[in-house]
Structure 1
Amino acid sequence: MRVTKCFFSIILFLLICFPVTGLSAPPSQRYENIMVDDTVVALFDKETLRYEKDPYRDELLINVWIKTLSTNGDNSYNLSHYLFRLHNSEILSLDSLDYDATGQLSRKITSSYDPNKWVPILPETVSEQWYISVTEYAKVNAAKLKKEYNERMGINEKNRRNVFSFITDFFDM
């Protein structure tokens, strides 16, 4: 019994003084993988994904930040802020932030909303995979997203169906 206690004390001491490297951290709950052919091509931020009202049309958009990792293996990454149109399958880029391997901001591009800058999402492109992943997540979490939007916008219960009728129609397709 005494040998067992001593053995566990030594193991505990070694683990505290010399942490094991190479163990991966638990997956982040904040980001959702965007996959193409079993490969992660980007991640979208579930905490920033929300509905937004289009300022020029009577429709709701999906607002989300997408993280793309560098392909040169230096731990740099890009965060881009996008809006997605549900019915027209279009994308609008608002912000792009590049971070170097140390996590320092290295470049920032910001655009204001311009209704003329919407771009159609082309088939078989990475942006199509982004659109599919983001809209599928929104579909599964529609009730939560609707509730958050209504609370943020101060919309009462009576008007909720009118605001979200097109989203319901879109997801019922």
Structure 2
Amino acid sequence: MNNFVTKKNFILADELATIALGKQVAEIVKTELKQGIVVYLNGDLGAGKTTLTRGFVQGMGHIGNVKSPTYTLVEPYDLADWQVYHFDLYRLADPEELEYMGIRDYFNSNCCSFIEWPEKGQGMLPAPDMIIDLVYHDEQRQVSLLAKTALGQRLLSMLVQ
């Protein structure tokens, strides 16, 4: 058994704190891990899944708008050394739809994928490196990060609040 951290919990005061957490994850991916990750995002509508992803995408170097892919299923960000994909599977009727859109092409060593509503793509998605749960806690958000792979454990061990 290794000595890596497998779970961390944070309380985020507001939207800016949620964005900052996403940027911190991006910095660790770019400078320490130097390879892509798969993150499942769980939480009710409006819990901050897209806000966290916005921070990550901006932290990876994207300049400009980061919008929710609710109607398109995936929003791609083609950056200098990275591909970042933000999936929102909320409106997915059948996981097989992912096969038609070429889902396997979205996952390789320089791709970072953040997937909202991953349970809707069950059986078609790769296993996550990390699962992030976001829950409203009064005016704040409680965030729970669970590492599911050695890569996720490395990321989590470097994450500070």
Q: Where on the TM-score scale, by shorter chain, does this alignment land: which range?
A: under 0.3
Higher relative contact order (CA 8 A, sep 6+): 2
Task: Using structure 2 for the length normalisation, give the TM-score.
Answer: 0.27
